[in-house]
Amino acid sequence: MRNLILQAILSGILLGMIYGLIGAGLNIIYGVMRVVNFAHGEFLMIAAYLVYWFSVLYNIDPLSSLLIIIPLFFLSGMIIYHLVVPRLLKSEDPEMASFLTFYGISMIITALVLIAWGADPRGLRFPYGTPSMRIGTFYISTGRVIHFAFSSIIALILVFFLYRTYLGKAIRAIIQNRDAVKIVGIDPNKISSIAFGIGLMLVGITGALIPLTFPGITPGMGASYTLVAFVVIVLGGLGNPMGSIIGGLIFGLTENISTLFLPLALSPVISFITLILIIMIRPQGFLGGTWN
């Protein structure tokens, strides 16, 4: 039993970091613009399908495909921002307006993907040696380890970016006080478009590596990742990108450990019960209201 628990903890950490990065992208977008990107999971799903496509058509492996996915999603994010978000921000209730708009966008994306690739699940043959590896007495998915390693590197780059670069500091400033940045000479429109690009880039990276972690890619998978992303950002603290990593780890650990004691079907329920409990104890999330 002890081994099983340790195995579940290890799996939870591996998955948690992945969830955290999904949440970080959503949280940057929400924090900077107060825009609720309800199509976040669908963007992840597009990245997964693109990687599948690159693999089938051009024999490009998921890691190499990041060279295409990263700039593609960053630029797409900036374009989507300029097409949609400034109008939403003029609304009297940007959060509700953006929620409805992006919910519509998520439906459109799902429908288009369904037309393009059909409803059957797609998957990749694992391109990097054996699908599972042994560490001590534990067997773990090689794909999850690769995904975890990449997510950790990206999280570290994100920390460096947010705390050491002009754009990162400007993003932190705008998350804290959108009005104040205007009077200190920072262009909120420019920073917001870059932040949207970064948000989509982060979810694009995760989506590109999802085929290594979970076998089936389907047009309907986006909704569940959107839900995970929202839970993660509420757990970690709304508007705090680094809090999302903590939220992701809590979510991943709860989900995995609960499978040891409860039927598999109940594991998402336990995660949401954890969410409710944490909100009751600390409504602002783990790092909400403390981020500097």
Which residues in this chain contact other proteins in the complex, by CB under 8 A? 166, 169-170, 172-173, 176-177, 179-188, 290-292
The span from the CA of 277 to the CA of 173, in Å, is 30
The span from the CA of 283 to the CA of 201, in Å, is 29
Minimum separation from the CB atom of position 98 to other proteins (A): 22
Minimum separation from the CB atom of position 291 to other proteins (A): 6
Minimum separation from the CB atom of position 282 to other proteins (A): 17
Minimum separation from the CB atom of position 158 to other proteins (A): 17
123 vs 289 by CB, closer to other proteins: 289
Taking residue 7's Cβ as centre, other Cβ atoms within 10 Å add up to 16
Residue type, 222: G
Minimum separation from the CB atom of position 183 to other proteins (A): 5
77 vs 239 by CB, closer to other proteins: 239
204 vs 236 by CB, closer to other proteins: 236
76 vs 282 by CB, closer to other proteins: 282
137 vs 292 by CB, closer to other proteins: 292
2 vs 90 by CB, closer to other proteins: 90
Minimum separation from the CB atom of position 167 to other proteins (A): 9
